[in-house]
Structure 1
Amino acid sequence: MMNERAATLARDATSRSTRETAVLAPSPFPVTAHVLLALWVSCMVLLGVQAPDVYESLMQEDRFVEWWTVPLFAAAGVFALRRAIRHRRAFDALVGAFCIFVAGEEFSWGQRLLGITPPAPFLEHNYQQELTLHNFAGVFGQPGAALILALAGFGVLLPSITAIRRGRALLEHIGATAPRPVMLPWFALAAGLLAMYPLPFTGEWVEAMAGGLFLLTYAPAPRTSAAAALIGAAFALALTAWSGRGSATPAQLACAQAEAAAIANELAYGEAATARLAGARSVHKRAFTAVEEGYVRPDGLTALRAVACPEDSAASARRAYLIDPWGTAYWIATERGADSITVRVYSFGPNRRRDGGALEAGGDDIGAPLVIRP
């Protein structure tokens, strides 16, 4: 009788332990992960402070950091959905869908790679004029705030709940996998960095860090997460190289050059520049954003509407949103010096990514600066 009771108690204890373990990330968090995360944060901060030009180049769209974020979140989403399906865990399914969504949003669902011009609602209301949902700030709020909440809720709150028996029972009931408590400081650091934003482009490398943390939570073993991260890095390097290439017809190049020059001339010598633009020390914005924020008068861009692009049947439609022939935004950059004002309007060119600086052309960017001496 005593033996049966002891066996029953042992089974209950084992069952309880199994349930408690089930709410934690399936893979242990290795020391190597601590080291790599510390190196990532340290290197990004060091580059941002000591080598800002290199740092800014790495953080641009369609460069390694952004491309690496895509497979990190995608792999995390796949592992989360796999766990959700195998063990019927509803919350994990939601997290998996969230990770897949973030991965898709990061590369604009292929829009820039394929050179697709987004539909008019995206050009008008999406502040990056891309085929993404998270940049509809008027609908979804600031994307940084949403990610802060996700990191704090998933990476800080859930591990904290696992310290309480009822909390573990709740997580098991809703099918939630919590990051291991040892991961909590890294999630908190990522959320804190996004909130404080100590450097320009902080969000870019913190998003990659967040993707890695979600991957480490759901990968079934450390080797699996390491393999996924390495394959993702190779994928990112390949896409960085591939996206740097672009093709264009002579007519497209001539059209973009003429349009950029027309906008620049209207700003420098015409009626397009507002008092706000004229009085600003420096401005660097998408051209359509500059219109919306009162730097540019759209009715002053008469020369743009007169540019002939005979092979581009959609020219008038895209010009309404100041989009170039490859479906990306024209940018406006101005800088006031001691005795001159530099104005540059530029396109990212056929490869659809910025290769130079605000006032200096690089790669296949299109648009030369104008220097005005009042």
Structure 2
Amino acid sequence: MTINKTEKLGYLFLAVVFAISLYFGFTDPAFFDDVFAAEDNAVEWITAIMLLCISILCFARLFTISKGKSITWKLGAFVFAIIFFFGAGEEISWGQRLFNIESSAFFLENNAQQETNLHNLVVSGKKVNKIVFSQLLMVAMVIYLIVIPILYRKMDSIKKLMQTFAVPVVKWHQTAAFIISTLIVAVIPPSRKWEVYELAFGVIFFLIFLFPLNGYIFKKGNIERGNKES
């Protein structure tokens, strides 16, 4: 299992973030919630930047290496670009607080934080964030981070499907990083610990999209199989 220098730097950055999170989480929960992981502070902005970087990477691939690729490959790259752009926008409420923009009447009435975003909407007394962005997302993460990598290594049909729709396949050390991050965040006491989890999500997924197991599908031309997968 080869971990390149950029990935090592990414993991080192997460290690530092987790060390700080654990320290303040146990010694000064108020500082953790009100400063370190507060709205519009470094943790939230780094998360948004990571998600935006993934979106930019997908768009860059779409415009620079898509010649000779199938329509489905281009569609997959485009969908991922939009998904992560949406995630970045939602993370900072589409710049609402940055530009001091007032929420519309709809969001003032139906958003748990009265902000212009979808993940904090309340529908029939239930937060969309809890149903869609937590429960369903966690199921999707288990499938993507564990199930698909196993099937990819065993089934040519899955390998072909990932290539067809430009889906980056996770390396095992990337899966391990996500599991370790989950365990660390789970023991941090303050309520805003999930902001740190979102940051870890952004960093790890940026590394996944930069250095996937099936990196050959993001090279120029219509490459059917990679020469080396690790």
Q: TM-score, normalised by structure 1?
A: 0.46
Match of 2:163 in 1: 172
- Work out the CA distance in 2 between the residues paired with 1:197 and 1:48: 6
Larger-gyration structure (1/2) = 1
- Work out the CA distance in 1 between the residues paired with 2:76 and 2:183: 24
Secondary structure of the corresponding residue to residue 113 of structure 2: coil
* Cα distance change, pair 92–194 in 1 and its aligned pair in 2 (3 A): farther
How far 1:201 sits from its partner (Å)? 0.8
Match of 2:25 in 1: 48
How far 1:99 sits from its partner (Å)? 1.2
| 2:25 and 2:189 in contact (8 A); partners too | no
- 1:210 aligns to 2:201 (yes or no): yes
Match of 2:55 in 1: 77
- Work out the CA distance in 2 between the residues paired with 1:196 and 1:160: 28
Match of 1:39 in 2: 16
- Work out the CA distance in 2 between the residues paired with 1:150 and 1:195: 19
Counterpart residue identity of residue 25, structure 2: G
Gaps of 5+ in 2: 213-230
Match of 2:116 in 1: 131
How far 1:196 sits from its partner (Å)? 7.6
Alignment of 1:267-306 (within 5 A): none
Alignment of 1:229-248 (within 5 A): none
* Cα distance change, pair 131–58 in 1 and its aligned pair in 2 (3 A): same
* Cα distance change, pair 34–110 in 1 and its aligned pair in 2 (3 A): closer
Alignment of 1:249-268 (within 5 A): none
Match of 2:217 in 1: none
* Cα distance change, pair 100–68 in 1 and its aligned pair in 2 (3 A): same
| 2:119 and 2:128 in contact (8 A); partners too | yes
Alignment of 1:96-111 (within 5 A): 96-111=81-96
| 1:197 and 1:203 in contact (8 A); partners too | no
| 2:93 and 2:116 in contact (8 A); partners too | yes
How far 1:204 sits from its partner (Å)? 0.6
* Cα distance change, pair 194–101 in 1 and its aligned pair in 2 (3 A): farther
Range with bigger deviation, 53-62 or 126-135: 53-62
- Work out the CA distance in 2 between the residues paired with 1:152 and 1:29: 25
How far 1:117 sits from its partner (Å)? 1.5
- 1:201 aligns to 2:178 (yes or no): no
Q: Which has the higher helix share?
A: 2
Q: Which structure ranks higher in relative contact order (CA pairs < 8 Å, sequence separation ≥ 6)?
A: 2
Cα deviation per residue 1:294-322 (whole Å; 9 max; x = unaligned)?
Answer: xxxxxxxxxxxxxxxxxxxxxxxxxxxxx
Counterpart residue identity of residue 76, structure 2: F
Aligned positions, number: 195
- Work out the CA distance in 1 between the residues paired with 2:45 and 2:7: 25
Match of 2:146 in 1: 156
How far 1:40 sits from its partner (Å)? 2.4
Aligned identity (percent) is 24
Secondary structure of the corresponding residue to residue 16 of structure 2: helix
| 2:149 and 2:170 in contact (8 A); partners too | yes
How far 1:210 sits from its partner (Å)? 0.8
| 1:155 and 1:188 in contact (8 A); partners too | no
- 1:181 aligns to 2:172 (yes or no): yes
- Work out the CA distance in 2 between the residues paired with 1:58 and 1:184: 26
- Work out the CA distance in 1 between the residues paired with 2:146 and 2:78: 19
Cα deviation per residue 1:83-141 (whole Å; 9 max; x = unaligned)?
Answer: 34533523343222221111101111111122221111111111111000111242745
- 1:145 aligns to 2:150 (yes or no): no
